[in-house]
Amino acid sequence: MTRAKLRRIPAQSQNWPGTTADLSPAPDHGETSWVGRGRLENKRVLVTGGDSGIGRAVAITMAKEGAAVVIAHLPQEEADAEDTVRTITEAGGSAHRLASDLTELSANHRLAKDAVKLLGGLDVLICNAAYQMTFDSIEAFPPEQIQRTFATNVFSPFWLIQALAGELEKSGGSVIVTTSVQAYEPSGHLLDYAATKAALNNMVVNLANELGQRGVRVNAVAPGPIWTPLIPSTMAPEKVKGFGTDTPLGRAGHPVEVAAAYVFLASDEASYVSGTVIGVTGGRPVF
């Protein structure tokens, strides 16, 4: 894979939840840079938050590896979701999209049912959808935000895994959860978000133990600073400027650079990998 490295990102802002088209510079999701090698032939994959950012890159790379993909997205992210599906189908892959607000239990159950119906079963569940908004003091965090952050980032993965464990057991499948370097190096302005990611790490270890006895692998990927619409739509412009330059590699990552870890964990190459967290952080530690 070849791509232009992200150097100094300029100050910018977007209205939440943001859109890929307005990011400057443009991120790489593997649209042309990723070359599939058939590593996920005939696998059926559900990706939450699959419209943009890391989820988009995961959907595109897995489809290029031969998987049939369903992406879940918020209703207001329809344009990016349609573009992701179009990118996959124009490349000869199989993709569908389902709009859903995963903060509610019923929406997670409906998504699980609809995705299995579209795919005819499930081999890989990727719990990637996340919510964050930054504030500089604990007094500034609105109570409704704390509830939304935990509902999106922690409750939804729990509900989806609970609903789909039986399907994954049938296929000998796997779960991949998106955590974050924030679980290890929490930023004060992301207090609630960082706490949810630490909770997910714990959940992954527990579920790997329980579901491993049913033939299901459970792992996580912990990204560092990755250039996605989440950044300018949830952070002040002065915090966006130079985003990622504080890593040992000196830059933010492209979404496709994270997607490679998901492809590995979903593939048969990772058949003995479970209960682990793979950091893709530009050099920041995840231990």
The catalytic site residues sit at 193
CA angle 14, 5, 58 (to 5 degrees): 65
* Cis omega (within 30 of 0) for bond into 25: yes
Please answer whether residues 138 and 182 qualify as being in contact, where contact means their C-beta atoms are separated by less than 8 angstroms: no
Q: What is the three-class DSSP state of 205?
A: helix
Which residues in 143-154 are b (16+ Cβ under 10 Å) and which e? eebeebbbbbbb
Tokens of 148: 């939304």
In the Cβ-directed half-sphere of 247, how many Cα atoms lie within 13 Å? 24
CA distances from 89 to 86, 104, 188 (A): 5, 30, 41
Count of alpha carbons within 13 angstroms of residue 16, beta-carbon side: 8
In residues, how long is the chain? 287
DSSP assignments along 129-180, one per residue: -------SSGGGS-HHHHHHHHIIIIIHHHHHHHHHHHHHHHHT-EEEEE--
